[in-house]
Structure 1
Amino acid sequence: MTRTWESLYSKNGLAAKYIAREILKIENQERIPRVTDFCDRLSLGRGTVQGALKLLEGLDAIELASRGHLGTFLLNKDVSVLSDIADIGPLIGAMPLPYSKKYEGLATGIVDAFGSTNKRVSLAYMRGASTRLEALKTRRYDFAIVSRMAAEDGIKNHKGLEIIKSFGLGTYVSGHKVFFADPSNTQIKSGMRIGIDRSSPDQSMCTLYECEGIDVALVDLNYMQLFQMLKEKQIDAAVWNKDEVQSVEMLSSADFQSGKARELTKLTSEATIVIDSTRSEVIEQMALLDAGIVRGVQRKVENGERFPQY
């Protein structure tokens, strides 16, 4: 087997890299291009293409069947092996810090869904949707997980970004509420100090809508500081998501008074995957991701039916 892998450095092996990329786009039981098609498309000789296909079969990357005048069909493919041959490494994505069961379930679901296609994925954890989208645009990551609201906001500000997968309402957060340092408060009032994280479009826009027309002092913090600052009464109120168990149990909270904030929280509840639309290799691999598997695993983690693993 080692000798077979070494043959990837031969002329046939270099051709196999290109052909592996083409076959990754083909589903099992579909006909593959004719040898002459590969020759024309890749400017290769007939013998080189035939040798490359035999090499891919020898590496157990593909299983082919000739059906006479109907052509040659792809019976089976190993996506992981094909990706290695094609020099397509594991996808790397950025998502929020997994501090809630919902985020742990989302991370576990994405890893499981890619695993079911024999595709590897690595996840990095970054605070702030704006930060994740900036990192995506500079190609530090292949994809970013953000809410639909943050995705739509980011697409306006970054040319070439697009939503490639959506997971439905309640998959990013269950919703947001206003949390208070003083349990006697039930709504934001003039004179209050309000925590805001401007790197989070979700938190900052909900905060601004809820404070609209009220004379408050906005205190710039990062999202993970809000809870501690409320506990220490250094701020009076802050918008926070309902899935963070510690804040829900220790602090009093209330629903939004602002109709605009209530409407916005629907968009903030849906998880999406954003990619750079110029990266065709990422689009091809993302097409393999089954959103149904992700949602199913996420529910099991949230319900305690399985341990998170990401």
Structure 2
Amino acid sequence: MREMANKEGVATRRVALALCDNALGKRIPTVSELEKGCGVSRGYVQKALANLKEGGAIVLETHGQSGTLLVDIDYLALARSCGVSHIVGAMPLPYTARYEGLATSLFTLLNADGFRAYITFQRGSEGRVQTLLDGSTDYCVMSRLAYTGYAQRGYKIQIALDCGPHSYVGRHVLFSRDSERTDWTGARVGIDDSSVDQRTLTERYFSGIDVEYVPVQYTHIVDMLRAGILDAGIWNEDDVHMRYPELSARPVDIEDKDADNTRAVIVVRSDDALMRQVLRTLVDKEQVREIQQQVMDGEITVRY
């Protein structure tokens, strides 16, 4: 989210952020509390509240000793009052129909109500989450498995929306040329440190086995298998199983059909409650899945 340059704009955005998680019917912070919490003067807090009310973003009622209550809030109007007119997201490279469908659904749903949406594409969740944290993007898309890994490492990010099972990948599989091999001792296994999913699933699958991990970019796994450089590698079945029938594919997550590695989540910075609410307002999970499936079935044209 991008701050308005002038002091009044900055105050409006900070007050708006302070109100984002205020429950309807509950007391909002006092002017003195907002002055301290937002780091702006009393006069600018009052101007910010007036701007938000005049813009139709909030409806307030004064109740004497009970304070001022938040009666209604329009998160889209709140964002516009803060000068937000466009939303930028980061997604995986659209190399599968499932990713194309997800990109199309987000592009379609976010280009609404006067907002303009743009999507950048980056290989590896590490790059995407860094663009989010440095403010280059407003949200990024990753698997729920990757999100859990980043959250456990202390990254200041939060899920705005979980798109449900199989919205990210159909399943991950272990690719190899030898369909009969069961003893992986000494096997050369591709591992991509830029992808939390691929690295985590690989380490989980081969846990306790003495294998040789070979650093790769996940997009090169198939070519390296075909060239004999790798013996095995885990990746997304959506992309390759139909084009390379000579490869053996073994499911990685047989027991959990709703596994976190198959679920796409839309992630925002933890301190950006406004963008979290804007995304939740504009993006409906069922609509995402419907548009995604229509793209995968060839019923609508890809657009992002």
Give the TM interval when normalised to the shorter protein: 0.7 to 0.9
Does structure 1 conserve the Cα–Cα contact (< 8 Å) formed by 2:146 and 2:261? Answer: yes
Partner of 1:269: 262
> What TM-score comes out, normalization by structure 2 length?
0.73
Give the Cα–Cα distance (whole angstroms) in 1 for the partners of residues 143 and 208 of structure 2: 26
Partner of 2:92: 96
Give the Cα–Cα distance (whole angstroms) in 2 for the partners of residues 25 and 249 of structure 1: 48
| 1:150 maps to 2:146 | yes
Equivalent in 160, 174, 177 of residue 173 of structure 2 = 177
Map residues 127-166 of structure 1 onto 2, 5 A cutoff.
127-166=123-162
Helix, strand or coil at the partner of 1:240? strand
Give the Cα–Cα distance (whole angstroms) in 1 for the partners of residues 148 and 11 of structure 2: 40
> Larger Cα Rg: Structure 1 or Structure 2?
1
1:109-165 C-alpha deviation (Å, 9 max, x unpaired) = 111111244322211111111332233223232211111111111111134322121
Helix, strand or coil at the partner of 1:255? strand
CA deviation after TM superposition for structure 1 residue 91, in Å: 1.8
Aligned amino acid, residue 273 of structure 1: I
Partner of 1:304: 298
Does structure 2 conserve the Cα–Cα contact (< 8 Å) formed by 1:206 and 1:264? Answer: no
Unaligned runs of at least 5 residues, structure 1? 1-8, 32-36, 64-73
Partner of 1:114: 110
Give the Cα–Cα distance (whole angstroms) in 1 for the partners of residues 287 and 117 of structure 2: 15
CA deviation after TM superposition for structure 1 residue 168, in Å: 0.7
Unaligned runs of at least 5 residues, structure 2? 1-5, 36-41, 58-70
The 1:233/1:157 distance shift into structure 2, 3 A limit, reads same
Partner of 1:226: 221
| 1:204 maps to 2:204 | no
Structure 1, 147-156 or 203-212: larger mean CA deviation: 203-212
Does structure 2 conserve the Cα–Cα contact (< 8 Å) formed by 1:172 and 1:269? Answer: yes
Does structure 2 conserve the Cα–Cα contact (< 8 Å) formed by 1:95 and 1:126? Answer: yes
CA deviation after TM superposition for structure 1 residue 279, in Å: 1.5
Map residues 75-86 of structure 1 onto 2, 5 A cutoff.
79=76, 83=79, 86=82
Give the Cα–Cα distance (whole angstroms) in 2 for the partners of residues 17 and 143 of structure 1: 18
| 1:292 maps to 2:286 | yes
Map residues 13-28 of structure 1 onto 2, 5 A cutoff.
none
The number of equivalent residue pairs is 285
Partner of 2:188: 193
In terms of fraction of residues, the more helix-rich structure is: 1
Aligned amino acid, residue 97 of structure 1: L
Does structure 2 conserve the Cα–Cα contact (< 8 Å) formed by 1:173 and 1:269? Answer: yes
CA deviation after TM superposition for structure 1 residue 85, in Å: 5.3
Helix, strand or coil at the partner of 1:243? helix
Map residues 1-12 of structure 1 onto 2, 5 A cutoff.
none
Query: Aligned residues: percent identity?
Result: 28
Partner of 1:237: 232
CA RMSD of aligned residues (A): 4.3
Give the Cα–Cα distance (whole angstroms) in 1 for the partners of residues 184 and 224 of structure 2: 18
Helix, strand or coil at the partner of 1:306? coil
CA deviation after TM superposition for structure 1 residue 214, in Å: 2.7
The 1:243/1:44 distance shift into structure 2, 3 A limit, reads same
Aligned amino acid, residue 217 of structure 2: N
CA deviation after TM superposition for structure 1 residue 16, in Å: 9.0
The 1:17/1:242 distance shift into structure 2, 3 A limit, reads closer
Give the Cα–Cα distance (whole angstroms) in 2 for the partners of residues 202 and 14 of structure 1: 38
Aligned amino acid, residue 201 of structure 2: C
> What TM-score comes out, normalization by structure 1 length?
0.72
